[in-house]
Amino acid sequence: MIVRPKPGVLALFFVMRGSVVPRILPHILGFAAYAAIIVGVVHITRLDMSGFSIAPFGLLGVALSIYMGFRNNAAYDRWWEARKLWGQLVYEIRNLARATNGLIEDPAERRALLMESLAFCHFLRGQLRKVDVVAEAGKFIGEEAHAVARALNGPDELVRRMGRRAAELRRNAAIDAIGYRIIDERLATIAAVQAGCERIKGTPLPFAYTLLLQRTAYIFCLLLPIGLVSSAGWSTPLFTALVAYTFFGLDALSEELEEPFGMEANDLALDAICRVCEISIFEALGEKAPPPLAPERYFYS
């Protein structure tokens, strides 16, 4: 995730960190070169292009804008729902820490349960990003992280472990039935957060929308120079490049937002959110908390 102040008017045109321009630059340059070739051919051959106008592109542009708006809204809804789920996870981790401080008298048992909750955060991050997080989780649960990693669903395995630990405390009369219910409700909500993230991860937007938009955008940009050449002349490549930047830029941004758990510039900062959970847990235990993660060149991972 890019976190930076709003650039000034001059810097606005040169900011690349967090921009989709590097990703779509081949499209911009390619269509600009294609438009320049069209203009050159028309001037050399002296073709009469006055019969072609820009009017039909207005209708096609409106239709394309509607489709792009729908897809962009759908992608942003996924991104925002994912952010709300991880915000709820922070909320539930803090509630779990507060509840265990009042319900579990044994400091070792309380710490073990909360360390498993931190390992859950990292294993959920690893599951969503498809990265190895055994080393990070091992800081909290030691060698048990390797056993959790062998499970098909590591985060779910940790929820089960926390549930078994709470049940053992109940059997040993370390907590009463009401205390067990309070902890179990926190674990159930954490499991619901995981299920919500898995739903977003496992259900991409229908491929037909992407295919339709990209086909239409390509056709639009390929035909645009033909409609512009008679009226815009050598300015045609510039206008074509601007249109390509708008259409393919929105498409690229939608693709990033559609998968909010990745490592792209506009994806969620899951590392930083996990660190927020760590700070909350360690402070609840009365231990020294790690510092918040700082952005690297405006980028939170």
From the CB of residue 298, how many other CB atoms can be counted at a distance below 10 Å? 14
Q: Rounded distance, CA 100 to CA 232, Å? A: 70
Q: Is the pTM of this model over 0.85?
A: yes
Phi (first) and psi of residue 287, to 5 degrees: -110, 165
3-state class of 108 per DSSP? helix
The amino acid that residue 249 corresponds to is G
C-alpha distance across the termini of the chain, in Å: 6
In the DSSP assignment, the letter for residue 6 is P
Q: What pLDDT is attached to residue 228?
A: 83
> Residue 299 forms beta bridges with which residues?
2, 296
Q: What pLDDT is attached to residue 211?
A: 85
Residue 98 gets the label, from left (phi > 0), alpha (psi -120 to 50) or beta, of alpha
3-state class of 2 per DSSP? strand
Q: What pLDDT is attached to residue 202?
A: 93
Domain ranges of the chain: 22-284
Both tokens assigned to 219: 């056709």
- Closest by alpha carbon to 265, among 277, 276, 252? 252
From the CB of residue 86, how many other CB atoms can be counted at a distance below 10 Å? 25
Walking along the chain (301 residues) 10 residues at a time, the average pLDDT comes out as: 65 66 89 91 79 74 82 91 96 95 93 96 96 95 95 96 95 93 96 96 86 86 85 87 89 89 88 95 94 76 72
Q: Rounded distance, CA 26 to CA 9, Å? A: 25
Cα 228 to chain centroid distance, Å, stands at 38
